Amino acid sequence: MKMLLDQFSKYNREEVLKKYKALRYIRDNNSYFLYLIFTAGACVYVGETSNIFWRIVKHKDKCGSDSVIYMQEHPDKEAVLRLEKHYIRVLKPKFNSRYCQAGQLELFRL
């Protein structure tokens, strides 16, 4: 797991909100973010978004002050969707449980 997370930037909730504050006014961003939220050392959520600022704002229930957010920024949405699917399968985060059922992730067909 350590090697896997070395490929990501590591933040807490407040750092993400501060660093990406400018995105709050952007509707069409050309970057896509893959993010993994860890709480108490366990992955609780894997997601993708084009606006990490608003996504973390909305994740207040999943992402507290003690959470760690691992992020990667990508220019290609399809690549991010593939990675999201992969990390959900591997990490099986509790808040992605509806997507961990057999056949659910095949909806993406990526």
- Whether residue 28 has pLDDT greater than 90: no
> What pLDDT score was predicted for residue 61?
87
Average pLDDT, the chain: 87
Question: Would you kindly state where each structural domain of the chain is located, as residue ranges?
Answer: 2-107
Instruction: Tell me the backbone φ, ψ of residue 54, rounded to 5 degrees.
Output: -70, -30
The span from the CA of 11 to the CA of 23, in Å, is 17
> What pLDDT score was predicted for residue 107?
47
**Count of C-beta atoms within a 10 Å radius of residue 102:** 6
Query: b/e per residue, 59-82, with b = 16+ CB within 10 A?
Result: beebbeeebbbbbbeeeeeeebbe
2-107 fold:
GIY-YIG endonuclease (3.40.1440)
Instruction: Say which residue, 60 or 29, is predicted with more confidence.
Output: 60
**pLDDT mean over 8-20:** 96
Q: Quote the tokens at residue 92.
A: 């099986």
Neighbour order of strands in the sheet with 32-39: 9-11, 68-74, 32-39, 42-49
The pLDDT tens digits for 40-90 are 999 999 999 999 999 999 998 888 889 999 999 999 999 999 999 999 999
> What pLDDT score was predicted for residue 100?
55
* pTM score, whole prediction: 0.84
The span from the CA of 3 to the CA of 66, in Å, is 22
